[in-house]
Chains A and B, each alone.
Chain A
C-alpha cells in the first residue's frame, strides 16, 4: 500500500505486487475496523502482536520488527537481538511482522499495546511520532561512539532531543553492469553533457538508457528526489518536503520539465512495470542504467558485475553532492514496559559490535551506521556504498520519509503517476499538487 517497501521481497516466488497486496488487504481490514469506524479499538493489532510475556521485569524486553521470514533484513535483526541477549542476558521477545503489514498498521500498533522498541526510520517520520508523543526521548543513550554527527542529526526531533538509534542505511544511485560498460566503451558520466552523450551512445546500440518502473508508486519518487536535489539543491528539496515551498513554483516546474526531457531515454510505460521487471531488464542488458536503491540486488542476485555511480550533476553551481540514503533504526515507544532494558538495547544497537553481529547474520546490501563497524565482510556493493555516501555532503532520506506520509501516499504517488502518463501537462500536475498540499499542510 501506500507506504513504500524498499526492502528485499519476502516472497520471491510471487510477483511482489501480489505478495504485498494480499497482506495489505488484511491490514486494511484491521485499520478499517479501527480507523474508519472511529471508535477506539486500538488494541486490535497489538492483540496479534504482543504475546504478552510482559511481566518478566528485569530480564526481558520486546522488539517489534518490520521484517519477518527468512529474508536478510529479518535475519540481520535477529542476529542483533541474539547478540544483545548473549551479552546482557536480557531476553528479547521478537514480534516479527511482514513489512507492508507493519507499515500499514503502525498507527494502531503504536496506540495499542506496542513492543518496547520497534524498527523505524530516521528523519521526518521519526519526528512526526516524537511530536505526537508516541515515542520517547532517548537522548540519554547518546552520544553513541562511532555514529557520525549527520546521523545524530537525523535521529534528533524538533525539540532537540534524540528519539532514534540508527542501525543501517543504503544509497540510491545509478546502477549499471560493468561488463556491459566495458564491452561497449561506455564511461561513467559526471556532467549533464556526459550523461546526454552516454544516453545517445546507448541508443545507437539499441539499448534503452534507463530502466524505469513505477507500478508500485514509490520508485519514481527516487527519480524526483535526485532531479530536485541536482537542479534546486538539497536545501530547497528539504524545505519543499517540509511544506515550506510551493509546488507550483518555477523551481519545481523546472524539475518536471527536465524529467520530461529525460523520459524518452527511459523505458516506456513505467506504470505497468514493477521495479523487479525493470531490474531484470538491466540484468539482461536491455537497458544500460537504473536509478534505484542498492536492494536492487534482491531482484537480480545472479548479476555479478553490478556497480553504481551517483547521479551526475545537472547544474554546475549545485553539483552532485546530495543523495537519498534512507537510514533504518530503532525507536522506543512512549511508556515502554521494560524501559531500562529497552534503553540498554538501544545503546547496544548503535554500537559497532551490534552492527557487526547484524552484518554477520546475513548478506544484504546495507551499510552499518556505525563508522567503526567492521567492513571486512562487506561485498563490493557495500564497500562502494560506503564510498559514495561518505563523499556526499548532504543526505536526504527519501520522499516518503522526508515529508508527511499522508501527503506522500495520497498526493505524490497519484500525481507522479499522472505526470508519467501525461508528461506534457507539467502545469496541471504542479497546480494540483499545490492545491492538495495546501489542504493537507494547512498553508
Chain B
C-alpha cells in the first residue's frame, strides 16, 4: 500500500491540469482501480507485443534475407525479394500448398461443418439416447490431430489396413497423391464434426423456447422455424463457427505432418514453413517468406471477420 501511494499521487498529478469537467467524469475510478486497470492492460499488451508482433515483424524482416540460422546477425545476407520470387517461380510445392489449403477450407465448410450443425439440430430435439450420441460424436475432439492421423493409419494402411481389407481394394490411401488429401480430410472431418456439433448444440440450448412456440403458433413448420427464427437468433454462434473453420483450415498442420510431413500430395503452407525452418536445414529466410505469405492470407480473413464484428457492435 505504502508503495502504491506515490504512484497514485503521480497519476493524480498528471491529471491535474486537465479541464475540470472531463476530470470529473473520470473521477469514478479510484487511483487504485486505475493502477489495476493499467496493469491489466499492460501485461497482455506486453505479451501480445512480445509473442505476436515482434516475431511477426521479425519474420517479415527475415523474409528478405538468406540466413542459415547460424552465427550472429552479421552473417545475414540481404537478398531483397528473391525468396518470394523463388517461392512463386521455382519452388514446386508452393502452388499445390495454396490449392490444398483452399480445398481444406471449402471441404470443412461444406462437409463436416454442415454435418455438425445438422447433428446439433437433431440432437437438440432430445431424442432417446441423445446423451450417448453427443458423447460419441464429441469423443474425437479430445484427441490431438496428430493422434487422429495415427488412428486412421490403422484404417488406411495399404497392406495392413482395415479399409482395404473390408473393401477388397488395394488403394494406397495415404500415399497416392490423388487420394491422400481426401483421406486426411475425412480424418480431420471426423474430429471437426464433433467440435462444431458441440458448439452449435450449446448455442441451440440458449435459444429461447418461446420463440419456437410463437413460430409454431403462427403455423411455421420445423424447417421454416429453423431457417427463419432460430438461425437469425444464432448469428453470434454462426460467426464463431465460421471463424473456427477458417482458423482450423489455415493452421492445418499436425495431421499432415504425422502422415508424411506435408509432402507428396499433402503440401500445405504450414508444413512447408516448418520443413524449411526446422532442423539443420534451416533456410530461415525462405521459411519466413512462406510464413509471411501465410500471415497475409490469414490477415484477409481476420480483416473480414473484424469488419463484420465491428459493424455488428455499431448497429
Chain A residues whose C-beta falls within 8 Å of the C-beta of B149 in the assembled complex? 18
Query: A35's contact among B92, B254, B278, by CB below 8 Å, is which?
Result: B278
B175: CB under 8 A from chain A? yes
- A110 to B282 CA separation, bound complex (whole angstroms): 13
Min CB distance, B212 to chain A, in Å? 46
A269 within 8 A of B: yes
CA distance A397 to B149 in the complex (A): 33
Interface pair B146/A37, CB less than 8 Å apart: no
Of B244-252, B269-277, B303-311, the stretch lying at the interface with chain A is B269-277
Closest to B174 in A: A272
Closest to A132 in B: B70
**What is the CA–CA distance of A414 and B257 in the complex, to the nearest angstrom?**
14
Contact of A27 with B264 at beta-carbon distance under 8 Å, contacts A37-B58, A132-B70 already known? no
Across the interface, do A272 and B173 meet the contact criterion of CB distance under 8 Å? yes
Q: How far is the CB of A286 from chain B (nearest CB, A)?
A: 9
Asked if B177 and A271 sit within 8 Å, CB to CB, the answer is yes
Is B116 interfacial (CB 8 A cutoff)? no
Whether A2 lies near B158 (C-beta < 8 A) is no
| Bound-state Cα–Cα, A36 to B292, Å | 11
Could you say which residues of chain B place their CB within 8 Å of the CB of A217? 260-261, 263
Contact of B274 among A28, A105, A107, A111 (CB under 8 A): A28
How many angstroms from the CA of A37 to the CA of B59 in the assembled complex? Answer: 6
Instruction: Verify B54–A36 contact, CB threshold 8 A.
Output: no
**What's the least CB distance linking A180 to chain B, in Å?**
19
* A22 on the B face (CB < 8 A): yes
Task: Assess the B261–A31 pair: CB atoms within 8 A.
Answer: no
B40 to chain A, nearest CB (A): 26
Q: Judge whether A38 and B279 touch: CB under 8 Å.
A: no
Which of A54-62, A171-179, A368-376, A401-409 forms part of the interface with chain B?
A401-409
Interface: B172 (CB within 8 A): yes
Residues of B within 8 A of A31 (CB): 277-279, 282
Q: Complex Cα distance A196/B73, Å? A: 55
Q: Which B residues are in CB contact (< 8 Å) with A28?
A: 257, 274, 278
Chain A residues with CB under 8 Å of B177's CB are 271, 421
Given known A36-B273, A37-B59, contact A439–B150 (CB-CB < 8 A): no
Q: Which residues of chain A from 256 to 298 have a CB within 8 Å of any chain B CB?
A: 269-273, 277, 281
Residues of chain A with a CB closer than 8 A to B276's CB: 406, 410
Q: Is B55 an interface residue (CB 8 A)?
A: yes
Task: Determine the chain B residues whose CB is within 8 A of the CB of A406 once the complex forms.
Answer: 68, 276, 280-283
| Contact B264 A2, beta carbon cutoff 8 Å | no
**Bound-complex Cα distance A435 to B86 (A):** 9
B258 within 8 A of A: yes
Asked if A32 is an interface residue, CB under 8 A from chain B, the answer is yes
CB–CB A269/B175 < 8 A? yes
Chain A interface size band reads 35 or more
| Contact between chains at A18 and B263 (CB < 8 Å) | no
Q: Is A383 an interface residue (CB 8 A)?
A: no
A25, B69: Cβ atoms closer than 8 Å: no
Residues of B within 8 A of A439 (CB): 82, 86, 90
User: In the assembly, what is the distance between CA of A71 and CA of B179, in Å?
Assistant: 36
The CB with the most chain A CB atoms within 10 A, among B68, B150, B258, B282, is that of: B282
Kindly state whether residue B108 has any CB partner on chain A within 8 Å: no
- B253 to chain A minimum Cβ distance, whole angstroms, is 8
A residues 12-43 touching B (CB-CB < 8 Å)? 14-15, 17-18, 21-22, 24-25, 27-28, 31-32, 35-39
Whether A38 contacts B264 by the Cβ 8 Å rule is no
Interface-central residue, A17, A408, A435, A440, by most chain B CB under 10 Å? A17
For the complex, what is the distance from the CA of A104 to the CA of B69, rounded to whole Å? Answer: 13
- A166 shortest CB reach to chain B, Å: 20
B184 within 8 A of A: no
B62 within 8 A of A: yes
The answer, yes or no, to whether A188 is at the interface (CB within 8 Å) is no
Q: How far is the CB of A316 from chain B (nearest CB, A)?
A: 36
Chain B's closest residue to A101 (CB) is B279
Q: What 0/1 pattern do residues 395 to 435 of A give for CB contact below 8 A with B?
A: 00000000001101110011101100100000000001001
- Cα A435 to Cα B293 with chains together (Å): 21
A226, CB-defined interface residue at 8 Å:
no
Distance A436 CA – B278 CA, assembled complex (angstroms) = 19
Which of B91, B172, B257, B282 meets A269, CB within 8 Å? Answer: B172
Is B284 part of the binding interface, using a Cβ–Cβ cutoff of 8 Å? yes
Check B90 against A36 for contact (C-beta < 8 Å). Answer: no
Indicate whether B287 reaches chain A with its CB closer than 8 angstroms: yes
Which residues of B from 94 to 136 have beta carbons under 8 Å from A? none
B35 contacts chain A at the CB level, 8 A cutoff: no
Distance, CA A254 to CA B293, complexed state (A): 37
- Given the complex, which residues of A lie within 8 Å of B158, measured CB to CB? 269, 272-273
- A134 within 8 A of partner (CB): yes
A414 and B263 contact, CB distance less than 8 A: yes
- The answer to whether the Cβ of A200 comes within 8 Å of any Cβ in the partner chain is no
Given contacts A25-B254, A36-B55, A272-B173, contact A405 B278 (CB under 8 A): no
- The reply to whether B264 and A421 contact each other, CB–CB distance below 8 Å, is yes
Select which of A21, A134, A270, A417 is within 8 A of B263 by beta carbon.
Answer: A417
Q: Are A2 and B278 in contact (CB under 8 A)?
A: yes
Give A107 to B71 CA distance when docked, in angstroms: 10
Query: Chain B residue with minimal CB distance to A420?
Result: B264
Minimal Cβ-Cβ distance residue in A for B55: A37
Q: Is the CB of A2 within 8 A of B261?
A: yes
Q: Answer whether residue B203 sits at the interface, using C-beta atoms and an 8 A cutoff.
A: no
Q: Is the CB of A36 within 8 A of B277?
A: yes
How many whole Å from B234's CB to the nearest CB in chain A?
A: 35
In the complex, A103 has a CB within 8 A of chain B: yes
Contact across chains for A3 and B59 when beta carbons are under 8 A apart = no
Could you list some 29 contacts between A and B, CB below 8 A?
Answer: A1-B279, A2-B261, A22-B258, A27-B278, A27-B279, A35-B69, A35-B282, A36-B284, A36-B287, A38-B55, A38-B284, A104-B279, A104-B280, A107-B70, A107-B282, A133-B71, A217-B261, A269-B175, A269-B176, A270-B175, A272-B172, A273-B159, A408-B281, A409-B275, A413-B263, A418-B264, A436-B86, A436-B90, A439-B82
A interface, CB within 8 angstroms of B: 1-3, 14-15, 17-18, 21-22, 24-25, 27-28, 31-32, 35-39, 103-107, 110-111, 125, 132-134, 215, 217, 269-273, 277, 281, 405-406, 408-410, 413-415, 417-418, 421, 432, 435-436, 439-440
**Top 4 closest A-B pairs, CB basis?**
A272-B175, A37-B55, A38-B58, A272-B172
Given contacts A17-B259, A406-B68, A413-B263, 4 further A-B contacts (CB under 8 A): A21-B261, A270-B175, A273-B159, A414-B264
